Structure 1
Amino acid sequence: MTHQLVIKKAGQALPTAHKVLIMLHGRGGSADDILSLSQHLAVSDFALLAPQASNHTWYPYSFLSPVEQNEPSLSSALENITQTVQTAVDSGIRTENIYFFGFSQGACLTLEFLARNAQRYGGAAVIIGGLIGEEIDQTNYQGDFQQTPIFIGTSNPDMHVPVERVHESAKILTAMNADVTVKVYDNFGHSINNEEIEWANKLVFT
């Protein structure tokens, strides 16, 4: 399956905004769902862009499956993010003013995109996610984050994302010169808590 490019918009009008937040929903979710979370984030002056996955799923299998099993959906999903970023750039937004928020499958996709396209961004907050693949293939990753702040919140244990993969991902991103903060919440479950939102606002959005 490949994805059509459908971007839901909210917040400030893109032509007049100075900052953009790209939001990526999880499996079974929607662009509207993830956009609704923005009311809890310190992004009132941001334009909000949320691409919608076809059939509400960015890729069919676990992010820990061999990458080949999730193709062509994974590559198509990454291309959708590329085009969403380009939409912001074409409106005059510099990459250092482009931010990201992702949850679950959207968190994994966010981290994978960032690692493959490292440069100075405004920042990223991801909840319950890690770099994609049965084994992490660092040959896919290049660039310098130039101390882009990245916040990763997660639960331990989590039914979909082992905490070991979260820490492994954070280590790789740090080595690529990202300013990474990881917060692990014991037995919280596969969801977003208020403290994670507070950390995201403190470290990334303000």
Structure 2
Amino acid sequence: MQTNQHLSQSPVSYGAPVEQAGLVVYGVHGRGQAPEFMMEVADRVDLPDVAWLLPAAHDQSWYPQSFLAALNENQPALDDALETVRTHLDGVLDRRHRPPVAVFGFSQGACLLSEYLLRDQPNLAGAVLHTGGYLGPSERDWAVSDRLTMADLTVRMFTARNDSWVPLHRVEATGVAFRSLGATVELTVYDDPDHHVNDDSVDALRRYLRQVTGSSPGHKATGHQSAGH
């Protein structure tokens, strides 16, 4: 029987304690990265009332092939990765008196979260997908959940116009998919070829998380972080 190696490591807790937080952000890193990458983003966002829950992919990869490969070419790793996200988020969402929960993914992490959100349609407070889209070689249709859980969700998306790994057309198709399920989508496209989280998207992420928590402004990001795919 195969073991889900992603679940062999517990998510890293960073920032505010969950019990004291105004918001929990489940932050999923990209290929070749680790939770430390998301810690750096969290430091740049600089919201002290946010608890960051940061999973770690086995061997720093959630699935082996391109996200545009046939779905079966990324199995069984893709199912394991989806099970990992589902298990971690179920644990947070089941807490009594829990703060609201949002997800944030970059690159391969954004692809994984896109696939999870469109399949499961969980009841979340927010979603930020940076340089990623749902998996598979062609566009897909998605059935609306009977619970209509996407109706109150705003999905914030960012990408480069000419990214080396993530084509704009798939990011746009992913936005269309979320809209078809009732979500509001806000997409920012950068004329920035670097595969990274730039300062403008950090500022936008901070504003978005403040809107989710209803917290007041007063923090400023510093620095510039490049990232691998």
Could you tell me which amino acid in structure 1 is paired with residue 81 of structure 2? A
Greater Rg by CA: 2
C-alpha distance after superposition, 1:48-67 (max 9, x if no partner)? 11110000000000000000
Contact 2:143–2:181, Cα closer than 8 Å, also in 1: no
Deviation at residue 47 of structure 1 after TM alignment: 1.7
* Identity over aligned pairs, percent: 28
Deviation at residue 34 of structure 1 after TM alignment: 1.2
Deviation at residue 43 of structure 1 after TM alignment: 3.6
For residue 154 of structure 1, what is the aligned residue in structure 2?
Answer: 159
1:175 pairs with 2:153:
no
Contact 2:27–2:53, Cα closer than 8 Å, also in 1: yes
For residue 104 of structure 1, what is the aligned residue in structure 2?
Answer: 107
- Helix, strand or coil: the match of 1:102? strand
Deviation at residue 42 of structure 1 after TM alignment: 5.4
Number of matched pairs: 205
Structure 1 pair 140/100, CA: closer, same or farther in 2 (3 Å)?
same
2:118 to 111, 115, 119: 115
Aligned partners of 1:54, 1:179: CA distance in 2, in Å?
33
Deviation at residue 141 of structure 1 after TM alignment: 6.5
Contact 2:6–2:81, Cα closer than 8 Å, also in 1: no
1:196 to 173, 197, 201: 201
C-alpha distance after superposition, 1:54-86 (max 9, x if no partner)? 000000000000000001111111111111112
Contact 1:120–1:146, Cα closer than 8 Å, also in 2: no
1:72 to 67, 73, 76: 76
For residue 3 of structure 1, what is the aligned residue in structure 2?
Answer: 5
Deviation at residue 120 of structure 1 after TM alignment: 3.5
Contact 2:103–2:128, Cα closer than 8 Å, also in 1: yes
For residue 139 of structure 2, what is the aligned residue in structure 1?
Answer: 136
For residue 60 of structure 2, what is the aligned residue in structure 1?
Answer: 56
Aligned partners of 2:36, 2:162: CA distance in 1, in Å?
28
Q: Name the TM-score, length of structure 2 as normaliser.
A: 0.82
Aligned partners of 2:59, 2:66: CA distance in 1, in Å?
16
Aligned partners of 1:92, 1:16: CA distance in 2, in Å?
13
Q: Name the TM-score, length of structure 1 as normaliser.
A: 0.90
Contact 2:156–2:187, Cα closer than 8 Å, also in 1: yes
Could you tell me which amino acid in structure 1 is paired with residue 140 of structure 2? D
Aligned partners of 2:78, 2:140: CA distance in 1, in Å?
15
C-alpha distance after superposition, 1:138-166 (max 9, x if no partner)? 35774531231111111111111100001
- Helix, strand or coil: the match of 1:74? helix
- Helix, strand or coil: the match of 1:4? helix
1:85 to 81, 85, 89: 89
Contact 2:118–2:142, Cα closer than 8 Å, also in 1: no
Unaligned runs of 5+ in 1: none
Structure 1 pair 42/110, CA: closer, same or farther in 2 (3 Å)?
farther
Provide the alpha-carbon RMSD of the alignment.
2.0
Mean Cα deviation higher: 141-150 or 126-135: 141-150
